[in-house]
A and B are shown apart, each in its own frame.
Chain A
Amino acid sequence: MDDGADAVFRALADPTRRALLDALLERDGQTLFELCTRMADTGVGSSRQAISQHIDVLAGAGLVHVRREGRYRLHDLDTTPLHPLRERWLRAEKRNRP
Chain B
Amino acid sequence: MRITRTSVFVDDQAKALEVYTRLLGFEVRHDIPLGEHRWLTVVSPEEPDGVEVVLEPNEHPAARAFTEALAADGIPSTSFTVDDVEAEYDRLTGLGMTFTQPPTPTGPVVTAVLDDTCGNLVQLVSAAPA
* A interface secondary structure, majority: helix
Q: Give the contacting residue for A34; candidates B68, B74, B107, B115; CB below 8 A.
A: B74
A-B contact count (CB 8 A): 49
Cβ contacts under 8 Å, A40 to chain B: 106-107
Q: Is B104 an interface residue (CB 8 A)?
A: yes
Given contact pairs A30-B101, A34-B113, A72 touches B106 in the complex (Cβ within 8 A): no
State which of B68, B72, B104 has its C-beta within 8 Å of the C-beta of A38.
B104
Most chain B CB within 10 A, of A31, A32, A41, A73, is at A31
Chain A residues, CB < 8 A from B113 = 31, 33-34
Shortest Cβ distance from residue B107 to the other chain A in the assembled complex, whole angstroms = 6
Interface residue tally for chain B (C-beta within 8 Å): 18
B111 part of interface (Cβ distance < 8 Å): yes
11 residue pairs A–B, Cβ–Cβ below 8 Å: A31-B74, A32-B73, A33-B75, A34-B101, A37-B111, A41-B104, A41-B106, A41-B107, A71-B72, A72-B100, A73-B72
Q: Using Cβ atoms and an 8 Å threshold, which residues of chain A touch B107?
A: 40-41
The reply to whether A71 and B71 contact each other, CB–CB distance below 8 Å, is yes
Interface string of A28-55 (1 = CB under 8 A from B): 0011111001101100000010000000
Interchain residue pairs A-B with the least CB separation, the first 9: A31-B74, A33-B74, A32-B73, A34-B101, A33-B75, A41-B106, A71-B71, A73-B72, A31-B100
